[in-house]
Amino acid sequence: MTIKPLSFRAVPLLWFLALASPALANDDMSIFSGVTQLSENNGWGDWGWVPHYITNSPAWNGHYTMVIAASGGNQAWYIHHDLIDTTIYSSISFWLNGGSSGGQAVGLQAQQGSDSGPWGPRINVTAPTNSWQQFTFSLSALGVNNTNLQAIQIWGTGTAQPRFYLADVRLVAAPAPATVHVSVGLSQARQTVNPDMLGVNQVAWDGAIATPTTISLLNAMGNPCLRWPGGSWGDGYHWTNEAWSYGNTSPRNWGSFSTNFIQVATNIHAQAFIIVNYGTSSPEEAAWGVRMFNLTNHCNFKYWEIGNEVGGSWEVDNNTNSPWKPHDPWTYAMRFTNYYAQMKAADPTIQIGAVADVTEDGTSNYNDHPVINPRTGAKHYGWTPVMLTYMRSNDCLPDFLIEHIYGPADGDTQDLLWYSKIQPDAVSLRQMLTDYLGSAGSNVTLECTECGLGGDRQTGSLVGGLTYLDSLGEFLQTEFQSHIWWDFRNGQSALSSSDPSYYGWRTNSSGAYIADGGIVGGLGDVPSSCYPTYYCDKLVPHFVSGGDTVVAATSDYLLLATYAVRRMDGALSLLVINKSSYTNLTVAFNLAGYVPSPGATTWSYGIPQDNAAATGIGSCDIAQGNFSSAAASFNYTFAPFSATAINLVPTAPGLTVLPSPSSGQFSYQLQGLSGVPYVIQSATDLTAGNWIPISTNTLITATLNFTNNTSSSAAFYRAVWQP
């Protein structure tokens, strides 16, 4: 990601809008609201090929309207979007005014699937004269229900006709279900959680990196894995003199920032991903960095990346001496060999990663090194196939592949649903590793060292925090071993024309909405200066830690996401995200293979905390609560735009006496839950302090039999679960 480096001191955190976002009335998706002179909302693109423009005469409810001034009889306003899953929507509506003439024939048509997908039937209506009338078209009639919607067209049909006016074009949400059903399957394990899954980017331009406040905030987040020195800076940062040079910018000396980073990482006991400079440096300096961190300073940083997004034209890449080319996968593969050899010689224990693209034809910058997929026989020029092919020919394979992924800024709902695409990304990367490296590809792991939000005010909004948690939940369903969020402290920028459809209230001293890639603003020493992403990150340790096991959880409603992990101590944690902006969702849980004790602990974050940050009334922090009706099947209601972690502990185990196999022996059976560790204790009396542990066992099935020799003295036995 290319981020303009800003010192936090240069951008004071001033929020002058003292009102939080108003509660929304529905989950409709605005296409054209007319609230401002923006012609579209929520990432809809104006691709129209009919003359059209904004006007306030006539206005609609005080808002701008769109004039459709067709020069011929069969022209359309063509509005395009990234694919939208229409499962949660029911119809498309707009308000129509025919002006002084009225009577125009106006049609609506929707496109399914992709830019080359089929168009559904055109449905025509007649415009009223000098008045506004709302028309609603069911997705079923338009041919796009329960599928993917790509675009719509609003037609001026028939012969040439006078201009007409449109207002409040929207995708109408279907009513939320009375009950959402969630199933959790304890027997369906996804993966064991790598502690490096829980990470955040740290950046060298952060002027407060080594402050006690920073260390305290990171500790509260569960000591996340860190990445350094910060995105595109990685290809312009020089370890040997701590200078940063980028393109034609003169080098600037930033002092001993590596020392500051070491101080932070070691104080919070964090593992780290380190970017080495591929764009403007050498393998020798990379090896120097390995020695400096791991040998001189004993950091034992495990993960090292050769460059950052080096296939992108936005990255500095001075590899221009023949035969090298900038942003070239063949050049990268050839130079990677030297980086790999010298860095491994400095510390053989490190893992070295290579930049990748998730599709075979992605980042296809050159055509002079085509490769053939040995499985399909197809020719490809894309970054990853070329890179992997020549790495294999050099007998120098990466230890991991790197993905970066950001939301598309397509509106709050769409960004909340965006990270489901990480699962097909993982499948695609694994397939390319298998195709181009054969069995050797199985030793290469997948790591995501940058992920984040799209744009607009969402980066500092409640929706941004919920998207962070949902992205983590989706990554946990894949083989990715890391999820490193962008970033801890970045810097604010003012938005000149914020999309009015976005949720969020944070503004600067001039009243402009702000964007900030960081999860805290300024120092972060004031609770309200921490963005919702920070508080959602604080929620994570209550849900998952390294070593836990991800288990299957499914929801039958797209706006209710549920993720589940089996904790190492045998507890079951659920993370539930209500992505609806306006309604409580009641969920019926069914836990297959797990019976919890009735008492459960909850931690939640949502609209009340975000409002508290806006108004100064109440607490900004996550709220802890209790729930007393947990069972194998139970109901729970979740507030709109909220995230909740529920910690369920196993029901108490039992001991049952069995027939003794022979004289002098005593047999009994432990009855509990599979996967839960239980301690067998004995005592000569029932005094609380006299129980002595004699065996600890994690059940594979629901029971385990024991046989002990008896003695002349009395003995008591019990089984307990100890977290």
Which tens digit of pLDDT belongs to each residue from 638-649? 999 999 999 999
> DSSP states of 412-478 as a string?
HHHHHHHGGGHHHHHHHHHHHHHHHHGGGGGG-EEEEEEEE--SGGGGGSHHHHHHHHHHHHHHTTS
Q: How do the domains of the chain map onto residue ranges?
A: 29-173, 194-543, 555-650, 654-720
pLDDT score, position 244: 60
Q: Specify which residues 440 forms β-bridges with.
A: none
Class of domain 654-720: mainly beta
Distance (Å, rounded) from C-alpha 141 to C-alpha 107?
Answer: 13
Q: What is the pLDDT of residues 258-301, one digit of tens each?
A: 888 999 999 999 999 999 999 999 999 999 999 999 999 999 99
pLDDT above 70 (res 36): yes
Band of pLDDT at residue 592, cut at 50, 70 and 90? very high
Name every residue whose Cβ is closer than 8 Å to that of residue 151 and which is 6 or more positions away in sequence. 47, 78, 79, 80, 81, 110, 111, 115
pLDDT score, position 338: 98
Asked if the domains 555-650 and 654-720 are classified in one and the same CATH topology, the answer is yes
Place of tokens 């023949």: 322
Task: Say what the pTM is.
Answer: 0.93
pLDDT above 90 (res 358): yes
Q: What is the pLDDT of residues 132-162, one digit of tens each?
A: 999 999 999 999 999 999 999 999 876 778 9
Greater pLDDT, 427 or 674: 427
pLDDT score, position 245: 57
Distance (Å, rounded) from C-alpha 290 to C-alpha 296?
Answer: 9
pLDDT score, position 608: 97
pLDDT score, position 505: 94
Place of tokens 């980042």: 363
pLDDT above 90 (res 706): no
Mean pLDDT of the chain: 91
Question: What CATH number should be reported for the domain whose range is 29-173?
Answer: 2.60.120.430
Q: In percent, how much of the chain has pLDDT > 70?
A: 94
pLDDT score, position 15: 41
pLDDT score, position 33: 93
Q: Rounded to 10 degrees, what is the CA torsion of 26, 28, 30, 36? A: 0
Greater pLDDT, 584 or 696: 584
pLDDT score, position 262: 93
Band of pLDDT at residue 712, cut at 50, 70 and 90? low
Decide: 174 and 90 in contact? Cβ < 8 Å.
yes
Q: What is the pLDDT of residues 319-328, one digit of tens each?
A: 999 999 999 9
pLDDT score, position 13: 39
486: how many CB neighbours lie within 10 A of its CB?
Answer: 24
357-554-570 Cα angle (round to 5):
100
Band of pLDDT at residue 612, cut at 50, 70 and 90? very high
pLDDT above 60 (res 19): no
pLDDT score, position 254: 42
Distance (Å, rounded) from C-alpha 648 to C-alpha 630?
Answer: 7
DSSP designation for 289: H
Class of domain 194-543: alpha beta
Q: Specify which residues 706 forms β-bridges with.
A: 668
pLDDT above 80 (res 416): yes
Distance (Å, rounded) from C-alpha 483 to C-alpha 218?
Answer: 16
Q: What is the pLDDT of residues 539-549, one digit of tens each?
A: 999 999 999 99
Put residue 581 in one of left, alpha, beta given phi > 0 → left and psi -120 to 50 → alpha. alpha
Architecture of domain 555-650: Sandwich (2.60)
Beta strands at 400-406 and 351-355: parallel, antiparallel or unpaired: parallel
Mean pLDDT across 443-467: 94
198: amino acid identity, one letter? L
Distance (Å, rounded) from C-alpha 358 to C-alpha 356?
Answer: 7
Q: What is the pLDDT of residues 83-117, one digit of tens each?
A: 999 999 999 999 999 999 999 999 999 999 888 89
Mean pLDDT across 680-685: 87
Band of pLDDT at residue 335, cut at 50, 70 and 90? very high
pLDDT score, position 25: 84
Band of pLDDT at residue 247, cut at 50, 70 and 90? very low
pLDDT above 80 (res 74): no
pLDDT above 80 (res 71): no
Tokens matching residue 66? 């769109």
Q: Give the rounded distance of the alpha carbon of 565 from its chain centre.
A: 17
Band of pLDDT at residue 73, cut at 50, 70 and 90? low
pLDDT score, position 21: 52
pLDDT score, position 23: 56
Decide: 277 and 237 in contact? Cβ < 8 Å.
yes
Distance (Å, rounded) from C-alpha 295 to C-alpha 273?
Answer: 16
462-578-588 Cα angle (round to 5):
160
pLDDT above 50 (res 220): yes
Name every residue whose Cβ is closer than 8 Å to that of residue 148 and which is 6 or more positions away in sequence. 83, 84, 85, 86, 112, 113, 114, 117
Q: In percent, how much of the chain has pLDDT > 90?
A: 75
Mean pLDDT across 356-369: 97
pLDDT above 60 (res 317): yes
Mean pLDDT across 236-246: 72
pLDDT above 50 (res 467): yes
375: how many CB neighbours lie within 10 A of its CB?
Answer: 11
* CB-facing half-sphere around the CA of 391: CA atoms within 13 A: 30
Place of tokens 């500051």: 260
